[in-house]
Structure 1
């Protein structure tokens, strides 16, 4: 199976000294899955909407299954002290377009954004996470909510604070990977063996 993961610096695994991020860790021990990590630092949903098709095209093959994973939203909600980079309505329009078109190409799954330390961005991101969850429900696309569990246990925030302030290290990414890998939607989507 080929798994194409599109998103931002959290998909990329920025800050992880092992350069695995959450997605590489969620696929640990799965040699039958070829991961194409297509996360790009600082990208918003608009950036991902503009590039995902072109980057997916050469990796789509007929001789093995392909799955498309998307995870974004943090950069949409971030700001340089003013308004967010994208309004929530714009983020949702991009998400709808991405997920709808991608689902016509291959099975899709969305992993919600992790929490952020900046209070204003954190509140916007929490609201966007809920809107993305509802959108995925309407589109019948699996959605894995990592925002609430990561915000609740504090490990993600402590690990990010010890790093660059926004991105965690290995421990934070491992916590997110554990949440994703244990989720029934992920297990079904990736064909994970029963434990």
Structure 2
């Protein structure tokens, strides 16, 4: 990904740390994360810079929604660099109707999506849904997180499990978060990237609105290096398609309460109530209302 700027803190690429190092530029979207666990506030989440991950210079922007929420068409046959997944122009558009909208929203992923380990039983999905109530939104939400799933498992099951739940709904939405188990199970970066691209392309081609929630850090430094690399690859896949991607890795990798919550959990892998609240905060404050075309 090119031309990335720090939209959250205003840091320029020429700024240096006290040790003389040039800080790494962030990927994904979102404001600077608070230094301690934040509580949800009454105001509507801010509309952060949507699709902030930049496209490579000279390439078309694909599927970026207009003000109405429908994706813009892009030049057909456009492709990325050799070996990369192609830029994709969906053949159908997500339709956002006026008045009360009948929305079917599906959350698809693995144990973090399922909210495993949260004593409140809400996870980040339950908290996000609770904050997505709006007089113009008749929302039906489904959590299809399956513990242990890889991106390959999601590719295999998403059509069969999602489409029956969208039956009869006027507007179809998909929130996808998967990938850490790819690293644990030995999937290659290329295969993991392709799996994500396949789901995104099939969904957008069917006129389904997609939102991607990124990977979260662990207590394992070596695994974290691989998670960060995969998170950046996922951000690039989404940027090529104009799909909202929320970076959860970097904000949480340096967040004391996230790490403390992991350390206190029984398996030291899944967070508790505080950790899932942090993920929900990131989702809600990084283009969520904008993606849903809510004012």
The alignment's TM-score, normalised by the length of structure 1, stands at: 0.90
Q: Does 1:125 align with 2:231?
A: no
In structure 1, C-alpha distance between the alignment counterparts of 2:248 and 2:154, rounded to whole Å: 20
Show the counterpart of 2:156. Answer: 50
Show the counterpart of 2:276. Answer: 173
C-alpha contact 2:104 2:169 (8 A) present in aligned 1: no
Q: Deviations over 1:50-85 (max 9, x none)?
A: 10110011012344312001001111122xxxxx52
3-state secondary structure, aligned to 2:251:
helix
1:159, distance to aligned residue in structure 2 (A)? 0.5
C-alpha contact 2:114 2:146 (8 A) present in aligned 1: yes
Q: Does 1:85 align with 2:186?
A: yes
Q: Deviations over 1:95-136 (max 9, x none)?
A: 111111011231111111111222222111100000100110
1:158, distance to aligned residue in structure 2 (A)? 1.2
Show the counterpart of 1:96. Answer: 197
Superposition pairs of residues 53-68 of structure 1, within 5 angstroms = 53-68=159-174
Runs of 4+ aligned structure 1 residues displaced above 4 Å come to none
1:87, distance to aligned residue in structure 2 (A)? 1.2
27-36 or 17-26, which moves further after superposition?
27-36
120-129 or 24-33, which moves further after superposition?
24-33
In structure 1, C-alpha distance between the alignment counterparts of 2:256 and 2:150, rounded to whole Å: 25
Aligned residues: 187
Q: Deviations over 1:3-32 (max 9, x none)?
A: 101001000001001111111111214344
Q: Deviations over 1:121-179 (max 9, x none)?
A: 21111000001001100111111111110112132221011012000000000011011
Q: Does 1:76 align with 2:177?
A: no
CA RMSD of aligned residues (A): 1.4
Show the counterpart of 2:259. Answer: 157
3-state secondary structure, aligned to 2:174:
strand
C-alpha contact 1:27 1:181 (8 A) present in aligned 2: no
Q: Which runs of 5+ in 2 are unaligned?
A: 1-102
Q: Which runs of 5+ in 1 are unaligned?
A: 79-83
More helix by share: 1
If you compute each CA radius of gyration, which structure gives the higher value, 1 or 2? 2
